[in-house]
């Protein structure tokens, strides 16, 4: 398929996911489709980013830094979109697809191979990725949560089609995956925060008395 054809299919995935997300792809085909479908939107994103960076460089804030801020902004306007659209999002597709598939198999709901789950996850990224150039504009950035919901709708429908399960089953797998991962991340962050705070308080208990030179403060402890 040509770039324009892939972009058209990307729009069809967004607007008619019930029909267009039934297409089966291998992992290589899925990524090939993704890169071709997002090429023109990426170019548009870079152009919009350059316009915003140029406006910032021409502003009083930009002049304060003698053009350095403007130069960095123009460079970031090219590098950041490419990094986000063609590196970070594809990596997230692989990771998220792997997690959905893992929990789908763990719950006994997903019977098809991983290619199906990855393809469904890739399809779900079409709304945000294609319209990312519009979402970086300050006037429309508030619409981003709507596109996240749009992604979720496409993801559930695509998983349902690819894994041949009912949509509520696909939705349940997504909810279980997100809930478990969020709980694990929260637990890790909590343990990390307790460890850091304990180390900081121990350091304060050791250092503050010497700084005050009068016996210091009462010893601080944290119940764990």
What burial class does residue 187 get, using C-beta atoms within 10 Å of its C-beta: 0-12 exposed, 13-18 middle, 19+ buried? exposed
- Give the pTM: 0.83
Give the burial string for 57-80 (b: 16+ CB within 10 Å, else e): beeeebeeeeeebbeebbeebeeb
Please check whether residue 41 lies inside any domain of the structure.
yes
Please check whether residue 81 lies inside any domain of the structure.
yes
Residue 123 structural domain: 3-165
Q: Which two tokens stand for residue 29?
A: 């085909």
Q: For the chain, 224 residues long, give each residue's pLDDT as a single digit of tens.
A: 589 999 999 999 999 999 999 999 999 999 999 999 999 999 999 999 999 888 877 776 655 555 555 667 788 889 999 999 999 999 999 999 999 999 999 999 999 999 999 999 999 999 999 999 998 888 888 899 999 999 999 999 999 999 999 999 999 999 999 999 999 999 999 988 888 887 777 777 777 666 665 554 455 555 55
Cα distances (angstroms) measured from residue 1 to each of 5, 27, 43, 50, 162:
6, 16, 19, 30, 21
Q: Is 221 left (phi over 0), alpha (psi -120 to 50) or beta?
A: beta
Number of domains observed in the structure of the chain: 1
Is-contact 17 158, C-beta < 8 A? Answer: yes
Q: How many CA atoms lie within 13 A of 8 on its CB side?
A: 5
Please check whether residue 192 lies inside any domain of the structure.
no
Query: Which residue, chain included where needed, has tokens 């019930």?
Result: 18
Is-contact 121 155, C-beta < 8 A? Answer: yes
pLDDT, tens only, 169-198 = 999 999 999 999 999 999 999 988 888 887
Please check whether residue 106 lies inside any domain of the structure.
yes
What pLDDT is stored for residue 223 in this prediction?
55
Please check whether residue 14 lies inside any domain of the structure.
yes
Please check whether residue 68 lies inside any domain of the structure.
yes
Please check whether residue 108 lies inside any domain of the structure.
yes
Is-contact 11 99, C-beta < 8 A? Answer: no
What is residue 147's three-state secondary structure? Answer: helix
What burial class does residue 98 get, using C-beta atoms within 10 Å of its C-beta: 0-12 exposed, 13-18 middle, 19+ buried? middle
Q: Which two tokens stand for residue 111?
A: 């019977």
Q: How many CB atoms lie within 10 A of CB 112?
A: 18
Q: How many CB atoms lie within 10 A of CB 107?
A: 13
Please check whether residue 142 lies inside any domain of the structure.
yes
Q: Which two tokens stand for residue 206?
A: 């050791």
What is the distance between the alpha carbons of residues 2 and 11, in angstroms, rounded to a whole number?
Answer: 14
């Amino acid at each position: 398929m040509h770039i324009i054809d892939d972009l058209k299919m990307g729009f069809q995935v967004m607007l008619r996911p019930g029909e267009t997300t039934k297409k089966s792809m291998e992992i290589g085909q899925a990524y090939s489709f993704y890169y071709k479908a997002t090429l023109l939107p990426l170019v548009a994103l870079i152009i919009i980013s350059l316009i915003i960076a140029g406006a910032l460089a021409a502003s009083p804030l930009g002049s304060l830094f003698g053009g350095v801020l403007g130069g960095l902004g123009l460079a970031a306007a090219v590098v950041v979109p490419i990094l986000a659209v063609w590196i970070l999002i594809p990596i997230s597709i692989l990771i998220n697809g792997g997690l959905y598939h893992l929990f789908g198999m763990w719950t006994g709901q997903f019977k098809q191979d991983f290619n199906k789950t990855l393809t469904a996850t890739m399809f779900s990224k079409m709304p945000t990725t294609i319209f990312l150039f519009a979402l970086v504009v300050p006037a429309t950035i508030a619409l981003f949560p709507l596109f996240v919901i749009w992604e979720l709708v496409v993801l559930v429908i695509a998983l349902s089609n690819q894994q041949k399960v009912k949509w509520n089953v696909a939705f349940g797998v997504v909810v279980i995956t997100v809930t478990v991962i969020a709980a694990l991340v929260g637990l890790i962050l909590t343990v990390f925060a307790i460890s850091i705070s304990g180390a900081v308080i121990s350091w304060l208990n050791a250092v503050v008395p010497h700084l005050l030179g009068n016996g210091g403060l009462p010893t601080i402890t944290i119940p764990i």
